[in-house]
Amino acid sequence: MVRKLLRASLFAALGGVAVALAYGSAATAGQKDKDEKVPDISEIMIKGHKGTDAYLAKIKGAAKSGDWDDAQKYAKTLAFFGENLGKNKPPKGDEKSWKALTEKYAVNTKEVYKGTQDKDVKTVNKGLGAIGGSCGGCHKAHKG
């Protein structure tokens, strides 16, 4: 009888630990989502595109010199920007155009990131070129 009680207590305790761990993991995942805010358009454009200190320039230089660790680091952030640009509301223009252009931007930033992972300068440059070639059309339609 005592063994049955001990066994039941042990299973109850293990069950409680499992529930606590599951809850903790879910809470941690939820907290991560809250902590990882969506960057606004200005942050994406300045950090990603503006000048020689921007991610586009850093990725291009790192890929050209074969510094793939840096290229991947910058490209990963650029891809994060690509995933999040469309979550912002454009200063002007219609939502349909914004959605189409930001989805294309996301695809191009992922291509750049994949190129850095594959250590493929050609793919990196193709993606960077597509991003650079899309600036004018997006700015004309949506920049305030």
Range of the domain at 3: 1-36
Taking 70 as the threshold, does the pLDDT of residue 9 lie above it?
no
Say if residue 17 is in the same domain as residue 53: no
Mean predicted lDDT score pLDDT of the chain:
84
81-94 pLDDT, tens digit each: 999 999 999 999 99
The answer, yes or no, to whether residue 101 has pLDDT greater than 80, is: yes
pLDDT average, residue stretch 72-99: 97
Based on the domain organization, do 101 and 122 belong to the same domain?
Answer: yes
Separation of alpha carbons 124 and 142, rounded Å:
26
Mean pLDDT score, 59-85: 98
CB 86 within 8 A of CB 94: no
**Do 84 and 27 share a structural domain?**
no
**14 has pLDDT over 60:** no
114 contacts 49 by C-beta, under 8 angstroms = no
- Please check whether residues 107 and 130 belong to one and the same domain: yes
pLDDT of residue 86: 97
Residue 6 has pLDDT above 60, yes or no: no
Q: Which pLDDT score, from 0 to 100, does residue 36 have?
A: 72
Is residue 29 located within the same domain as residue 50? no
Query: Are 69 and 134 in the same domain?
Result: yes
Residues 127/112, Cβ–Cβ less than 8 Å: yes
Q: Domain count of the chain?
A: 2
Do 17 and 75 belong to one domain?
no
pLDDT value of position 19: 39
Confidence of residue 11 (pLDDT cuts 50, 70, 90): very low
- For residue 1, the model assigns a pLDDT of 56
